[in-house]
């Protein structure tokens, strides 16, 4: 496990804050490789150091930290998709099928709710248009008060 000081030396950075900024930029990718040591010290595994080196290489190539971290996330997402699509396990496929069916059912339920809501709002709009044509309830009272 590497401390912030170890990471600073390994990445060739000047300050500990630079290391912390890089950790924060890819914290979601580093999460499995981060640990807390004594006195809440941040510790990073060697595999996390590899990720930080990749980030530093992208940053050194002229990209901003945000751009470099975005590229790393995209490549990590592509790797995850490839890993999942290569799997041919029946259990995994069945799980995906069940998940898809649940999502489809939830979407159908939401569509039904939205259709009923639209119908209700259309009805209210029709009632409001009718009331505007007839005149507001206070218009009749104003006529009675004025003696018309």
Percent of the chain with pLDDT over 70: 74
The pTM for the full model equals 0.53
Per-residue pLDDT band for 137 (boundaries 50, 70, 90) equals: low
- Measured between alpha carbons, how far is 142 from 50 in angstroms, rounded to an integer? 80
- Measured between alpha carbons, how far is 58 from 52 in angstroms, rounded to an integer? 10
Do 50 and 7 form a contact (C-beta atoms < 8 A)?
no
For the chain, the domains span 4-86, 90-146
Mean pLDDT of the region 96-100? 77
- Write out pLDDT tens, residues 40-94: 899 999 999 999 999 999 889 888 888 888 888 888 766 655 555 544 454 455 6
Q: Which residue reads 């790797």 in tokens? A: 79
Alpha-helical segments (H) within the chain: 4-11, 16-25, 27-30, 46-60, 65-86, 90-134, 137-146
CATH number of 4-86: 1.10.1660
- Predicted pLDDT at 128: 75
Mean pLDDT of the region 11-32? 91
Residue 44, both tokens:
């990073």
């Amino acid at each position: 496990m590497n401390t912030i000081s170890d990471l600073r030396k390994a990445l060739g950075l000047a300050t500990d804050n630079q290391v912390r900024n890089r950790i924060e930029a890819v914290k979601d990718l580093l999460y499995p490789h981060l640990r807390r040591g004594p006195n809440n010290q941040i510790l990073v595994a060697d595999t996390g150091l590899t990720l930080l080196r990749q980030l530093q290489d992208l940053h050194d190539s002229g990209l901003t930290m945000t751009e470099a971290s975005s590229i790393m996330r995209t490549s990590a997402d592509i790797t995850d998709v490839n890993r999942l699509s290569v799997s041919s396990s029946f259990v995994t496929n069945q799980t995906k099928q069940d998940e898809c069916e649940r999502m489809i059912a939830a979407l159908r339920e939401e569509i039904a709710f939205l259709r009923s809501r639209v119908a209700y709002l259309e009805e209210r709009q029709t009632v409001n248009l009718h009331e505007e044509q007839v005149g507001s309830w206070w218009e009749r009272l104003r006529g009675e008060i004025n003696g018309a």
